[in-house]
Amino acid sequence: MAEFKGQSRLPKFAAPKRYDIKLVPDLQSCKFSGSVSIHVDIVADTRFIVLNAADLTVHSGSVSFTEPKSSKVFQPSSVEIFEADEILVVEFAEILPIGVGVLAIGFEGVLNEQMKGFYRSTYEHNGEKKNMAVTQFEPADARRCFPCWDEPACKATFKITLDVPSELVALSNMPVIEEKVNGHLKTVSYQESPIMSTYLVAIVVGLFDFVEDHTSDGIKVRVYGQVGKANQGKFALHVAVKTLGLYKEYFAVPYPLPKLDMIAIPDFAAGAMENYGLVTYRETALLYDDQHSAAANKQRVATVVAHELAHQWFGNLVTMEWWTHLWLNEGFATWVSYLASDSLFPEWNVWTQFLDESVEGLRLDGLEESHPIEVEINHASEIDEIFDAISYRKGASVIRMLQSYLGAESFQRSLASYIKKHAYSNAKTEDLWAALEEGSGEPVTKLMNSWTKQQGYPVVSVKVNDQKLEFEQSRFLSSGSSGDGQWIIPITLVCGSYDNRKSFLLEKKSETLDMHKYLGCSVTSSLAEAGTDASCSWLKLNVDQAGFYRVKYDDHLAARLRHAIEKNYLSATDRFGILDDSFALCMARQQSFVSLLALMASYKEELDYTVLSNLIAVSYKLVRIAADAVPEQKELIKQFFINLFQNSAEKLGWQPKAGESHLDAMLRGEVLTALAMYGHDLTLDEASRRFHAFLDDRNTPLLPPDIRRAAYVGVMQRVSASNRSDYESLLRIYRESDLSQEKTRVLGSLASCPDPKIILEVLNFLLTDEVRNQDAVFGLSVGIEGRELAWSWLKDNWEHIWKTWGSGFLITRFVSATVSPFASLEKVKEIEEFFATRSKPAIARNLKQSIERVNINAKWVQSIQGEKNLADAVTELAYRKY
């Protein structure tokens, strides 16, 4: 038996074909029992059957293997679970016959509280606390519910039967075919599923209401929620019905199942899970309340639903062969969810907002401790950590870059043929490239290998030299270090006008282009000459930020772009890109802090939601780093940002306007929150006035959902240990609300308080029973005043935190939120010493990334401290009239 230990994959001498599963969950004792009969194809001589099992009790007397032709029953000589490897090894005295036989196993388990495997979630019904039973099997936790070949390539069909209390709703992937009531219990049998992977099997048992609709081709779609919340599922239902139709057309393959259920689960670690035919969600990602949900919540519901339904094709119908290719599932579903959202809600400008995804990918991939899109996975415990911004966001971004390069029609045709070819099967990254290469005639494999097989991405430096454009690529690292790597980069550029657009592939380290020959124009030496027909007043690379790379301009070109921003010559996506690249270059010490502030001053008239939202996000980071580098300048820098955001705040006001856009509704909340964070007195006064009106009347028109977070953050700025009434009031709002979106809004606001005593109370509150385990991470984002205290709190509570969250991916949020904000090399030593005896595989990668961020911050602080004339420049910017 020992030969099967320590292996990353199961042996290949047996393959499952069909599972017949019976489960009996007991919601009072939170235990379950079950049996499974697995039709197994024995393909090579063996005395062993090796499959996955974890946290289960298997009785050896219940295990047998039957050869159907002769009806011969083989009893095992040994049955053993190896917990470290999560495998069940069944040994027989004689060699098993080649061909299909039936492996029968009886087992028992516990409905755990870890939000993975077969677990329990709690809810209230008529004032009474109740349990529901829920599954979450991705990536590798079906083995905690029933013994199985728990690898994505081991596809089989599933026939499920449940024994449950007769008053409860019991759902699975397929429709019910029979329900037999026997007193207080009922036996529910479901149709056999199509061929699918174990991680997509799903079961939910509890009390629920639903709303229902049908697609144009008759597929029944339902949204389930807790009793009394079903109507909050109407928006998601509308999105789902429309999206199924869109995907049927886009993929040229109809939705493969007879029904689609989507269900909101009160305790759920991820955002949602694409189980075939039974998609599970956090309540915040599925339910939308007209009166108390914000515009941002509505958009979140639409994009998450579109993401999960994309998986019904890309992931469920065609499944990655192994977790190395996880990005095929997640990167693609992320990209295509924007395609669907844009089709349903064109007024949301989601392709501009897609840049938020790209930026998160670029931020993580700028670290030396990043990883390639295709990453080796050697143990199940490593899988959780790659559900990150590389697999999702860099994955989606390189797909967008490739689609932009190949063209939308060719890309869509090739995808449809890829899905047809690999339906009900598995695929690797190279299979997708082969389909796109065949459909487009372009060398896709050669082009894309540099983006998926090596980590990191390039920065393209561009300068003008004697009317020639000189391009050079090198790996971008946020540390400012020089890195190795070379990419095939689809370069796009516009010169002076979006009508003058060119593109080429940069395949070498450097390239020189003659501007007259290539662009038909020259770059003038002064702005006064710009605008004549033969000259180009500005040059922008990476048009609309379609490529996954950064651009560094020489001083002359950068000055032109600042002027173009002020004159509003550039698209929103290009204004976004220039800002974000400059911020990244500043952090990497390749551009001065003062020059970045000067660039940001060019955005004083900015009103686009995505650009302004990023401007605000960058401002938070700059104020934080300034507090470490030049604390005496921090208040002036805050004043500069107050002045910068004043224009948009005055135009938007506090009160929503009739018929205003979805984007303005989202922007208002973000701008007012920023002004509150920077201590703008008029904003804080108004936040307090509206907050107190809301305390008196929860339906007041003075505090609609879109500005609630701004008001909550505003009142927390003036809370202290000696003036805590508004803090107590916010806690009361938290306790009285049964809407998850409102609860997370409050949690995210509490820790913004500058008083350390209150911050400690907030952090301790996160560990109480009043906060669901899934939500604790929302309260971790403390300000710079609470950074040291949060680190001490993490150390003091580490054992409890590890015990509660250590078995899932949420543990990484505790590490990164607490460690990353520091900016000193001394702190790095302290962090490393603490984790020297406490690091585990589940947090190893994240911890290294967090420590690298501290090192980057420390070097950035030193760089800013070395800037000459910084104080004068900051003073000038802070007092400049906008």
Contact 191, 177 (CB under 8 A): yes
- In angstroms, the CA 805 to CA 771 distance is 13
Written as six digits, the tokens of 625 are 């780093």
Q: Which residues contact 114 (CB under 8 A, 6 or more apart)?
A: 807, 808
Query: What is the b/e burial string over 504-518, where b = at least 16 CB atoms within 10 angstroms of the residue's CB?
Result: eebeeeebebebeee
Helices 408-422, 429-440: axis angle to 10 degrees equals 130
3-class DSSP assignment, residue 328: helix
- In angstroms, the CA 619 to CA 702 distance is 28
Written as six digits, the tokens of 576 are 């976004």
308 assigned to active site = yes
Other C-beta atoms closer than 10 Å to the C-beta of 722 total 7
- In angstroms, the CA 766 to CA 756 distance is 15
Query: Which residue among 86, 151, 283, 308 is the active-site one?
Result: 308
Q: What is the DSSP annotation of 486-538? A: ---EEEEEEESSTTSEEEEEE-SSEEEEEHHHHHS-EE-SSGGGTTSTTEES-
Give the H or E element holding residue 252: none
Question: Which residues face 181 on adjacent strands?
Answer: 186
Other C-beta atoms closer than 10 Å to the C-beta of 776 total 21
3-class DSSP assignment, residue 277: coil
Contact 344, 455 (CB under 8 A): no
- In angstroms, the CA 193 to CA 41 distance is 19
Strand 169-172 relative to strand 117-125: parallel, antiparallel, unpaired? unpaired
Q: What is the DSSP annotation of 757-790? A: HHHHHHHHHHTSTTS-GGGGGGG----GGGHHHH
- In angstroms, the CA 503 to CA 141 distance is 47
- In angstroms, the CA 871 to CA 20 distance is 72
Written as six digits, the tokens of 102 are 């039936």
Q: Taking phi first (over 0 means left), then psi (-120 to 50 degrees means alpha), and beta for anything else, what does residue 869 get?
A: left
Looking at the chain, how many residues does it have?
882
Percent of residues in the chain assigned helix, strand, coil, to nearest 5? 45, 25, 30
Question: Which residues face 31 on adjacent strands?
Answer: 26, 110
Query: What is the b/e burial string over 444-460, where b = at least 16 CB atoms within 10 angstroms of the residue's CB?
Result: beebbbbbbebbbbbbb
- In angstroms, the CA 872 to CA 65 distance is 82
Nearest residue to 188 via CA among 23, 26, 20, 19: 23
Nearest residue to 468 via CA among 521, 533, 543: 521
Written as six digits, the tokens of 863 are 């760089």
Q: Which residues contact 769 (CB under 8 A, 6 or more apart)?
A: none
Contact 86, 52 (CB under 8 A): yes
Instruction: Say which amino acid occupies 530.
Output: A
Q: Count how many Cα atoms sit within 13 Å of the Cα of residue 513 in the half-sphere of its side chain.
A: 21
Written as six digits, the tokens of 511 are 């390239």
Helices 609-629, 841-865: axis angle to 10 degrees equals 70
In terms of DSSP H, where are the helices of 525-571? 555-566
Q: Which residues contact 359 (CB under 8 A, 6 or more apart)?
A: 580, 614
Catalytic residues: 308
